[in-house]
Structure 1
């Protein structure tokens, strides 16, 4: 991919703001995500609307950050739309990237099947005793708490999934990589892929070590797809597809929470 900023001077008067936003994505977002998810888990068994409230908070946070980054970019008059991926694909991804995308899709299908099986397994578990914390759940099954149960939740989750595809690709691939390249004065694609993967994995630190690794690998693949095509379009579509796969888990197979 060509056209990435050559130096931080390309951001002009927006240089400092660009660095601050990029730094927040690496340092602040993991903390914000952890706090947001812990509060959600705390409310889940006492508030029937906790899941919808959580989805709305996610939408506000992601769109707020995305708009902030967009405003910063608009003030960076020497950074073109192409330099942040806001254009049509300039070519097809290479064979290596294409192979990785196919592997990702196969893993998504497999993980979705496993998630459905895990949901059914959770239904068969004995009810949690009063006072027993969420730490007693087997690793990975706590993810089921995030999935929608009702029709209203499923509709809102659809918006969340699409939002994640649009906003997170813009933030962590388009904007973030442009700032990183500008700060270091240019970097090879391999370094950008690694940096993008690490930043994206840390943003999902609330999912634990396995979640950090999984999302980090996905973030690296998205970055490679972006750099190969010079556009955010394909990463956005792939990202949204990965998130929306959770809608394939039927609500009837998910455990319900008894609210106090």
Structure 2
């Protein structure tokens, strides 16, 4: 696997922004998993009593993601030795290789199958009486795999509109954060790191950011993050990863509310 992306050759390229770049990179790996976990558990607690909880959570996600993306943009602008091409801001310089295309096609196949499974019928959830007699979080062991993700999916028309914005935001902001900026910092800190290891690092960081989804969610999003990193490194641009990421998240708009757990509506 070869890389078309021109990554920073040294951490010195970040100039006066070195400290800020390091802090943001550490936050993405260590802080974001914790913050995401806490926010999601609070959201699940509110979901059972507040009909506006999902819309409120979507708005909070929009503010947090665009806010962090703006901070990273400022840090990059303060790094005089790091060009736009070195953080993926440009048109693709070439198409991905056969291995990357195979990974993308495999990922899209899994996405289509999972979406079809959700559309096919209602998803079982914990009995409503279990959720009523426990405090938020206590019924977690009774929840099916993917419960945290299902709780996020929109039910009403207003929720779907906001979720559409969240899906596009995830595509733009998370690719900028975890592929463009984060990989530039990693490559600058360890210049000799092979492309394959950069892909693994990107996948691990992205998977950890979804710790609130449990082990299966971490593994699934970790694979997604790795594939998107391979596409980014193979094309030299964030454009294709952004489009793929947004499409993968927006596919949930195809799932009718009747196919989602009644206990989480």
Is the shorter-chain TM-score for this pair beyond 0.5, marking a shared fold?
yes
State whether residues 7 and 186 of structure 1, in contact with CA within 8 Å, keep that contact through their aligned partners in structure 2: no
Matches within 5 A, 1:147-166: 147-166=153-172
State whether residues 5 and 234 of structure 2, in contact with CA within 8 Å, keep that contact through their aligned partners in structure 1: no
The secondary structure found in structure 1 opposite 2:124 is helix
Query: Does 2:28 align with 1:13?
Result: no
Deviation above 6 Å: which 4+ runs of structure 1? none
CA distance in 1, matches of 2:154, 2:177: 25
Q: 1:48-104: CA deviations, max 9, x gaps?
A: 100001111111111111110000000111100000000000011111101110111
Query: Does 2:54 align with 1:48?
Result: no
Q: How high is the TM-score relative to the length of structure 2?
A: 0.92
Alignment partner of 1:122 out of 121, 124, 139: 124
C-alpha spacing 1:37/1:2, structure 2 compared with 1 (3 Å): closer
Equivalence for 2:249: 243
Give structure 2 stretches of 5+ with no counterpart. Answer: none
Matches within 5 A, 1:221-232: 221-232=227-238
Equivalence for 1:27: 30
Q: CA deviation at 1:114?
A: 2.0
RMSD: 1.7
State whether residues 122 and 141 of structure 1, in contact with CA within 8 Å, keep that contact through their aligned partners in structure 2: no
Matches within 5 A, 1:174-189: 174-189=180-195
The secondary structure found in structure 2 opposite 1:93 is coil
Equivalence for 1:86: 89
Q: How high is the TM-score relative to the length of structure 1?
A: 0.94
State whether residues 123 and 261 of structure 2, in contact with CA within 8 Å, keep that contact through their aligned partners in structure 1: no
State whether residues 5 and 186 of structure 1, in contact with CA within 8 Å, keep that contact through their aligned partners in structure 2: no
State whether residues 43 and 54 of structure 2, in contact with CA within 8 Å, keep that contact through their aligned partners in structure 1: yes
The secondary structure found in structure 2 opposite 1:122 is coil
The secondary structure found in structure 1 opposite 2:6 is coil
The secondary structure found in structure 2 opposite 1:88 is coil
CA distance in 1, matches of 2:164, 2:55: 12
Q: 1:155-181: CA deviations, max 9, x gaps?
A: 000000000000000000000000001
Q: 1:103-131: CA deviations, max 9, x gaps?
A: 111000011122234x61438x8543430
The secondary structure found in structure 2 opposite 1:78 is coil
C-alpha spacing 1:79/1:149, structure 2 compared with 1 (3 Å): same
CA distance in 2, matches of 1:233, 1:186: 26
CA distance in 2, matches of 1:21, 1:96: 31
Give structure 1 stretches of 5+ with no counterpart. Answer: none
Equivalence for 1:134: 139
Equivalent residues, number: 257
